[in-house]
Structures are given as structure tokens and as C-alpha cells.
A and B are shown apart, each in its own frame.
Chain A
């Protein structure tokens, strides 16, 4: 019995020493926030830490709101947000825009409608237009699929398309880009919005005001449905954090951002 205790306590002591030591040598950067920015942030950090063994970067989700909160309260070194900050939120935060992302409106592959104006979109999502027939499609009720309140994609979509109108109350709510895509892919009367980076051939993107959702059109601003990807840092950030942010802006970082179908900002 005593032996076991002895061995156990040695293991615990060793473990403690080890974790303290590794904590001294390694510098940590905590990143948290928008789940839309998260995959990109993960790619950036994996690439970055390959050459920097003594920096440990930890990326967490939680949503844009959480990103803003953790940056302003200093809970994380970098907060991620996929929506612009209000004046109230921006108080003690520095904003670094790393890129722009397009939001794509997708319909079922068999749907004949392939061009919508922002005004038509607004009417569809607010419930004024209920049938595909009115848009030159088949005589079928439109099934509107939206994201949950607070989602970065939703708030971007609302501020660009909806202005004063609300998305109709009986629209189906899905909790991720992936499940919106699934829902649209399996329903020939559905319409939903999702980020360009997650597009696949399961659903067909429609043109907005006659303009295709391509990287070029997003970069030059012609395609209207786009939102910023922001890194938020508390005003007194560490050296490690600023080095990382510089690297993100370098050509190496820019390439990764481009590969993820995000349009880097200069």
C-alpha cells in the first residue's frame, strides 16, 4: 500500500514539475471566437508553429460575441470575429482585418432560378415572396433556411440584405453552415445562405444582382454579400502575439488565407 502511494506521489510530483517547466519554456497564445474564422485560424497557427517550437497556440470556437468579449476582457490573446464591431464594443480593442469572405446564397441543384436581386432575396427571407413561381421557377413553396440568432453569417446577411426587415419567423433554423448545406441539398424547394469557403457541388450558388460569387468579384467589391474576418487584440498585447499577427500579414500567411478561399486584405 505504502509503495503504491510512494510511486503515485512521485508520478504526481514529476508531472507537476514537468508541466511547470514546459509552461516556462513555451509561450502561449490563446485565440477564441467566431466559428467561421476558426478553421482559417487553425490552419494559420498550425503552419506558424511548425517553425516555432516554443510557441503554443490554442484555438477555440464560441462565436463572434465570445471573441469580442474575450478580447476586451483579456481572456484570450486574440479574439476572432466575423462581424464589424459596434462603437460600444470597440473601446479597448485593436482590430486587425485579415480578410473578406463571401456569403453564398444556395439552392437545390435542380432549381431553375439562377439569378436573384438583393431586393428579391429580402422579399424571400422576409416572407413576402412565398413561391418559386414568382421568381420564374417551379410552382413550389419556398422553404427558407436560416442560421440561429447571433451567428456571424446571419448577422452579416441581415445587415447586407434585410436592412429594416426581419427574417420571417417560420424559417427553418440550422445551427451550422454544414447543416444548412445538407438541408438545401436534400430539398428542391429550399434556399439558404452559407460561407463561400464551405461551398461544394451539393448545392448551386445563385448570382446576386447578376454577379457570380467569385473571389475576384468579392475582392473588387462588386459582389455585395461579403463580410470581414477580424482578429481582435487587447490594447496591451504580448510580443508573441504581435509577431504572430505580423506573420499573418506576411506573404506566407497571405497564401494560407488565399488557399482557404478568403480574400486577404492589405
Chain B
């Protein structure tokens, strides 16, 4: 009896420790980044740092606003391309495709997820950049090129997560819909899509996370120019590439400012997560019962 109690106690605490471990890691990283960034915020001023237009470490100018815009533009454009494509693909695979096609499609999409980002970057640099230069002018290093690469990179994430969401819609819903005489497309559009929406939102958020955090591929094709872009065919620098480009050389305040860039990135991602949670909760209730 006693022994069982001890066992129970140990297992309970053991699970608790493993569960809390990831939280500890997140907080350790967060505290470390904020501590390292603090001198930059104090000396340069947080708002000047966040909304400053000029980034020239040699003259002690550390404004990251252009890069915030850069990150947002690149991510947003990548989503515009990837979301419709991957949602349609997910519906096709889950609801329409015959098994034979599915067996072929699934591993292909998984392979897409397995390609290292440096390979995507190199492909972009040698193939996409010249193509964009030829057809749209400019140097070819642009928001458009970067988001094209990112769109391909986030496809597998959005497809597979939203596929799971579609799969988990109860079979009864579908049967009831067919029973009322709906066509396949009506069922997908009016029943399965709304029911799977919270999961699909999660999928898109994961895609945003991947896109906004991607560094290596973007460095190679975005041009990394610190400026507010005039069109989608202008080069930009994103927050992540700014850190990766200059970390090797940075000393003193410059070093702290790069950690400051990371803090801004953190804030953006937290805001995104809050929005995602809000959407998820709201739609979860709309569908009713809170069962989904």
C-alpha cells in the first residue's frame, strides 16, 4: 500500500517536472534575451529603437522599424500564396482524392518539409532571383522572391496540420449532410470547413511562425537592404536576417541591439499567438457544444 503511494507520488511529480520543463526553457531563453537587450533599450530608448527608420551600427543608429515591416510584408505575401493552395490541397487529399493518389501525394509533401532551408535558399538564389529579375525588373532580390520561397516552405506545415483538422471532423456530420441531399462540394464548404476551422487557423499560425522565423533562405534571396520597400519587387531586410547577418561581428551596443531585434520578434510572435487563440475560441463556440 505504502509502496504504491510512493510510486504514485513519484510518477505524478515526474510527469509534472517533464511538463514544466518546456516552460522553464522558454522562460530561461526569454529572460536571457531581455537581459541582453536591456542595455540597448536603455541607452537608445525603446520607442526610438522600435520605430527608428535608420539602422547603421557604425554610426550608432539602431532603428528596426523597416525590418518589422520587412518581416510582416514577406510573411503576409507568403501566406497569401500558400494558404489557398494548401487548404485546397488538404481538402482534396482528405475528401476527394482516391486512395492511390493519396498514397503518392502524402510522401511527396512530406519530402517538401524535409528539404533543408539552405537548399531552398540556394535554389532561390540561382533560379528564382534571375527569373524575377527578367520578368519584373530590378535586381531580382525582393519581397516577392523571398515570399515565393517561403510559400513553398510553409506549404507542408499548413497542409498536414489542416489535413488532421479535416480528418477529425466527426463522420456523422458528413453523413447527415449527404443524407439531406447536399453535394460533395456543399458538404465541404458548409459543413467540414466551418467545423475544421479552429484546426485550420492553428495550421495557418504554425505556417506564420515558420515563415516569420525563417532566416537562411530569406538571407539569400531578400537582398537584405534596410529600407521601406516601394513595391513587392524591392529588396528588404527582415528581423531574423538582421540578427543572423551581423551577430558574428557585433560588439558592445550593437550586440545588445541585435538581442533587441530578437525581443521585437518575440513580441510579434506573442501577439500572433494571442490573436490565434482568440479566433480559435470564438469559432469553437460558434460551432456549438464546445465539442470541437
Contact = CB atoms under 8 A, between A and B. Distances in A.
Contact of B225 (A66, A149, A169, A182): A169
22 contacts: A63-B249, A65-B249, A65-B250, A66-B249, A149-B56, A149-B58, A149-B245, A149-B246, A150-B248, A151-B249, A166-B56, A169-B225, A169-B227, A170-B235, A173-B223, A174-B220, A179-B125, A179-B220, A182-B126, A186-B126, A186-B129, A186-B130
B256 interface: no
Given A171-B225, A172-B141, A173-B245, 18 more contacts: A63-B249, A65-B248, A65-B249, A151-B249, A169-B225, A170-B227, A170-B235, A172-B139, A172-B223, A172-B235, A175-B220, A175-B245, A179-B220, A183-B125, A183-B129, A186-B130, A187-B130, A187-B133
B57 interface: yes
Contacts of B57: 149-150
A143 B130 contact: no
A172 B250 CA distance: 20
A63 B219 CA distance: 17
B224 interface: yes
Nearest to A168: B225
Interface in A54-110: 61-66, 69
Contacts of B58: 149
Contact of B140 (A66, A174, A187): A187
Contacts of A183: 125, 129, 141
Interface in A167-200: 169-175, 179, 182-183, 186-187, 190
Contacts of A151: 249
B225 A35 contact: no
A216 interface: no
A179 B237 CA distance: 16
A169 B219 contact: no
Given A175-B245, A182-B126, A186-B129, A148 B251 contact: no
Nearest to B125: A182
Interface string B152-194: 0000000000000000000000000000000000000000000
A85 to B, nearest CB: 13
A173 B237 contact: yes
B130 A173 contact: no
A183 B125 CA distance: 7
B141 A66 contact: no
A143 B250 CA distance: 27
A65 B251 contact: yes
Interface of A: 35, 61-66, 69, 143, 148-151, 166, 169-175, 179, 182-183, 186-187, 190
Contacts of A174: 220, 224
A148 B245 contact: yes
Given A63-B248, A150-B246, A175 B225 contact: no
Contacts of A35: 248
Which residue among B126, B139, B251 has the maximum number of chain A CB atoms within 10 Å of its CB? B139
Contacts of A175: 219-220, 224, 244-245
B251 to A, nearest CB: 5
B194 to A, nearest CB: 45
Interface in B236-254: 237, 244-246, 248-251
B150 interface: no
A90 to B, nearest CB: 15
Sorted from nearest, which 10 A-B pairs have the closest CB atoms? Answer: A150-B249, A63-B248, A173-B224, A148-B245, A65-B249, A63-B249, A172-B223, A143-B139, A186-B130, A172-B141
A143 to B, nearest CB: 5
Nearest to B249: A150
A151 B248 CA distance: 9
Given A143-B139, A182-B126, A149 B249 contact: yes
A148 B224 contact: yes
B125 A64 contact: no
Contacts of B82: none
A174 B129 CA distance: 13
A27 B52 CA distance: 49
Nearest to B255: A65
B225 A62 contact: no
B226 to A, nearest CB: 7
Interface string B215-230: 0000110011111000
A169 B227 CA distance: 8
Contacts of A69: 251
Contacts of B226: 169
Contacts of A172: 139, 141, 223-225, 235
Contacts of A150: 57, 246, 248-250
A148 B237 CA distance: 11
Nearest to A69: B251
Contacts of A61: 248
Which residue among B58, B245, B249, B251 has the maximum number of chain A CB atoms within 10 Å of its CB? B249
